[in-house]
Homo-oligomer: A and B are copies of this chain.
Amino acid sequence: MPTIQEIAKLCKVSTSTVSRVLNNHPYVSEKIRREVLRVIEEMNYTPHFLARGLRTNSSKLLAVSVPKADHPFFAGLIKGISLQALESNYKVCVFQTFYCKENELELMKLLQNREVDGIILGALENLWDDIAPYLKRGPILMCNEFHETAQVPILCYNEFESGYTAVRHLIERGYRDIGFCFDTANSEAQNIRKKGYLAALADHNLPYREEWIFDGAFSILDGIRIMNRIHDLPEKKPAALFSGSDQVAAGLIKQAVNLGYSVPGDLAVIGYDNQPICRVTTPTITSIDIPVEQLGRKAVSRLLACLTEELPLKREVTLFPTELVVREST
C-alpha cells in the first residue's frame, strides 16, 4: 500500500503538498494539484484512516446502543442512523446491551478510548448519573428514551400524549376496562407512557386494577404468556389492552383468538410502533406510529452538529409527532 511519502516522492513534492491536495487546501498550484491527483489515481492511493484519525483525533465512528439489534423497532432505528451517518461519512457501530447495565458501561469505554466519536443511546439501562461522567469524553445523545434532567439532547416523542391517545381511542370505542402491557419500569419513557394511560382512565372516571398491568412484555411469546394469565384471572378481566409493543400485541391477539375470544369483540388490543406486523395479523392491529427512521436520522445530524461545530452539549428535548393508526383490533 502506497503512503503519502511515496506519492510525494513520485511527484517530486513534499508530503505537505500532497496532504494539501488531499484535503482540498487552497494555495496549491493547479499544475501540481493535477500531477498529484494523477499519481494518486495511478497508484490507487487512499489515505490511511487510522493515521489521519490519530492526527485529527477522530475515528469517524459513531456507536448506537440498543437492547437487541433484531428487535423490529431498534432495527428500524439502526437503519435510520446508519443511513444518515453514511451520508456524512461516518460509520456506525452497533452495540447491544441485552438490557444489561454492564454492557452499557462497557460501551462508554469506547468513548473514553476514542474508539468512537460519539454515542447514541437508543435505550438507557444505567442511572443517568453513572453515564454522565463520560460526557467529558465525547458527546452522548438520548434517542427514544427520556430523562428528567440529563444535560444532553433528547430525541423522543410525547409518550404521555401517545399513551393518552391510545387509551382515549379505546374509551371512544366503548371499552371501559383497560389493561396495560409494558416492558420495564426502568424506562422513564415507559413510565411516562403509563402516566398517560392512567390519566386517560382517570379523566374518564374509569377503574384501573393492578392485575391488569403487565410488565416484562417484550416479545410475541410474552404476549402469549400474558394472554394466558389474563385468561386465568380469577376476577374481572380487562376488555381492552394497551400494549407497548406491536409484537406483544400480535402475541396477545393470536393467543386470545386461540382461547376462543373474539377480537376486538371480547378483547380489543392496541399496539405501539406501527410495525409491518400490524398489517398481517387477523385482525390487523391498531397502533401508534412512531417516525423511527426520522428519529434515527435526526439523532445523527444532532450528534454531528456537536462534533463538528464543537457545540457544547446541552439539554434540548426534541419531540417527534406520533399518530394513531386505526385497524381492526379495536
Residues of A within 8 A of B (CB): 1, 46-51, 53-54, 57, 59-61, 63, 68-72, 75-76, 78-79, 82-83, 86, 91-96, 109-110, 112-115, 137, 219-220, 247, 250-251, 253-254, 257, 276-277, 279-282
Q: Are A79 and B72 in contact (CB under 8 A)?
A: no
A94, A110, A220, A276 — which one has the most chain B CB atoms within 10 A of its CB? A94
A93 CA to B93 CA in the complex, in Å?
4
Complex partner residue of A91 from B115, B137, B280, CB under 8 angstroms:
B115
A49, A70, A109 — which one has the most chain B CB atoms within 10 A of its CB? A70
Q: Are B69 and A78 in contact (CB under 8 A)?
A: yes
Q: Are B277 and A114 in contact (CB under 8 A)?
A: no
A63 CA to B277 CA in the complex, in Å?
29
Q: Are A79 and B61 in contact (CB under 8 A)?
A: no
What are the residues of chain B within 8 A of A78 when measuring CB–CB?
69-70, 75, 78, 94
What are the residues of chain B within 8 A of A94 when measuring CB–CB?
78, 82, 92-94
Complex partner residue of A49 from B51, B59, B75, CB under 8 angstroms:
B59
Q: Are A276 and B220 in contact (CB under 8 A)?
A: yes
Q: Are B114 and A48 in contact (CB under 8 A)?
A: yes
What are the residues of chain B within 8 A of A112 when measuring CB–CB?
46
Q: Are A72 and B72 in contact (CB under 8 A)?
A: yes
Q: Are B75 and A69 in contact (CB under 8 A)?
A: yes
What are the residues of chain B within 8 A of A54 when measuring CB–CB?
48, 50-51, 54
CB distance from A84 to the nearest CB of B (A): 11
Between-chain CB contacts (< 8 Å), 24 pairs: A46-B109, A48-B113, A48-B114, A49-B114, A61-B91, A69-B78, A70-B75, A72-B72, A72-B75, A75-B75, A75-B78, A92-B94, A93-B93, A93-B94, A219-B276, A220-B276, A247-B276, A250-B280, A254-B280, A254-B282, A257-B282, A277-B277, A277-B280, A281-B281
